[in-house]
Structure 1
Amino acid sequence: MSAPVLLYDGVCGVCNSAVRTILRYDREGSLRFAALDSDFAREMASRHPELIGLDSAVFVRNTGQPTESVYIRSTALLQVAGYLGGWWRLGYAAYAIPPFVRDWLYERFARVRYRIGGRHDTCPIPSAEVRSRFLDTAYG
């Protein structure tokens, strides 16, 4: 599988809203999604130990290939912006901000994300139209 994958907090309301937005603007329709607590994410963590216990967005390029690479926190979000293209690429300007500053801001927001967007008891099931883009066997 070489399509890019976004790992996200499946029970986070803000994260689920972001995934719905990405689905709406994804021109290529190739980006795949998996919850951080999915089998796919655990498989990724077995190849990338830095992902173990990570509670952050993760963008994966070249999945399953020798050139597989992972991007976390703010860099993952910037990778999504680059993938979406168009005016989303304006987000690339944030690369001018040092990563430690971007990630500090990311972590501050991540701490309050449940207060802002709520928390689901379980990862919401995607609609039938996009279900095939989610890498979780529970969605069939």
Structure 2
Amino acid sequence: MAAYSYRDDPSVPAFPDDRPIIIFDGHCVLCSGFAQFVMRHDRAGRFRLMAAQTPLGAALYRHYGLDPVDYQTNLVLEDGLVRVKSDSSIRVFELLGFPWSLMAAGRVLPRPLRDALYAIIARNRLRWFGKREVCYLPAPEQRDRFIL
């Protein structure tokens, strides 16, 4: 898809996209933990975050041809382009800077292998790590970094 293609999709409401956005399953303990990890280590405030369960999150999943209910991947939107599966996670670590950027070494593995490992974790994440009854919500001082 072309960069910023969601801007031309009438089913996707307008939203601030001037910074990278991580869209994650807010009910998943692992995914919410990853969001909290990003909030702790993103000292530059580079990322915005959004729960996939929001109307906008669901619209973006649909826009990219993904199931808007069964979240098998996080999305990372950056400069109007989407990254999914292992590429989304690696990109987050790259942007967090050193030492987290060392995780980009995972790119040496072929994408099909990385994505197969990602899919195993995604498929089993709720059974292995649990599910929240309520979506993860940011602390008051973090709310400006969330798109709700």
Shorter-chain TM-score: what band? 0.7 to 0.9
Q: Which residue of 1 aligns with 2:21?
A: 5
Task: Tell me which residue corresponds to 2:73.
Answer: 56
Letter matched to residue 22 of structure 2: L
Count of matched residue pairs: 130
1:115 and 1:109 mapped to 2: Cα distance? 10
Is there any run of 5+ residues in structure 2 with no aligned partner, and where?
1-16
Identity of aligned residues (%): 28
- Cα deviation for residue 113 of structure 1 reads 1.1
Q: Is the 8 A contact 1:6 1:57 kept in 2?
A: yes
Structure 1 CA distance for aligned equivalents of residues 87 and 98 of structure 2? 18
- Name the CA distance, whole Å, in 2 between partners of 1:8 and 1:79: 14
Alignment partners' CA distance in 1, 2:58 and 2:43 = 28
Give RMSD over aligned pairs: 1.5
Q: Distance in 2 between matches of 1:11 and 1:43?
A: 17
The Cα shift of 1:126 comes to 1.4
- When normalised by structure 1's length, the TM-score is 0.85
Distance 1:2 1:51 in 2: 23
| CA–CA separation in structure 2 for the residues paired with 1:36 and 1:75 | 18
Partner residue, 1:65:
none
Once residues 70 and 50 of structure 1 are traced to their aligned partners in structure 2, the CA distance between those partners, rounded to angstroms, is 12
Stretches of structure 1 that go unaligned for 5 or more consecutive residues are 63-67
Partners of 2:129 and 2:29 lie apart in 1 by 5
With the length of structure 2 as denominator, give the TM-score of the two structures: 0.81
Task: Please state how far the C-alpha of 1:55 moved relative to its aligned partner.
Answer: 2.6
Matches within 5 A, 1:17-28: 17-28=33-44
Q: Residues of 2 paired with 1:133 and 1:40: CA distance?
A: 15
**Number of the residue aligned with 2:57:** 41
1:9–1:89 distance in 2 versus 1, CA, 3 Å: same
Q: Deviations over 1:99-128 (max 9, x none)?
A: 110000001111221122210122022110
2:50 counterpart SS class: strand
- Tell me by how many angstroms 1:52 deviates: 4.4
8 Å Cα contact 1:36-1:55 kept in structure 2: no
Residue range with higher mean Cα deviation, 52-61 or 24-33:
52-61
